[in-house]
């Protein structure tokens, strides 16, 4: 379960993108987590391909492409990986906050 202070921090940093990611949280999509040199998360949310690592992030949606910022698909992918116990809370915070 996500601690309230972490949830509030994510909500304050990402605002509407965080709120927009929550409906995807209940949808059925697979999140793949690999750990070679770095933690890497890959997912397809709706029709958009997402890739997240500590060094970079990418989503094929226009929001990410135009604004060059974390989009709701990336947030949903990281939250889903956390909910499925594939990453720790510390890793989730590092991927979503320290950018």
CA distance 66 to 44: 19
Q: How confident is the model at residue 26, as a pLDDT?
A: 72
∠ Cα 17 18 19 (to 5°): 90
Each residue's pLDDT tens digit, 53-90: 988 999 999 988 888 888 999 999 998 898 889 999 89
Q: Tell me the residue range of the domain where 92 lies.
A: 4-96
Report how many domains make up the chain.
1
Tell me how far CA of residue 76 lies from CA of 18, 36, 70, in angstroms: 8, 22, 10
Predicted TM-score (pTM) of this structure: 0.82
Q: With cut-offs at 50, 70 and 90, classify the pLDDT of residue 98.
A: low
Longest dimension (CA), the chain: 33
- Can you read off the two tokens belonging to residue 8? 């509030």
């Amino acid at each position: 379960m996500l601690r309230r202070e972490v949830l509030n921090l994510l909500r304050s940093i990402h605002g509407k993108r965080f709120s927009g990611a929550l409906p995807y949280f209940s949808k059925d999509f697979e999140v793949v987590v690999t750990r070679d040199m770095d933690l890497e998360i890959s997912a397809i949310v709706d029709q958009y391909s997402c890739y997240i690592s500590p060094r970079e992030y990418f989503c094929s949606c226009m929001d990410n492409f135009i604004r060059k910022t974390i989009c709701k698909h990336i947030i949903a992918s990281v939250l889903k990986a956390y909910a499925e116990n594939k990453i720790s809370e510390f890793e989730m915070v590092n991927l979503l906050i320290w950018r």
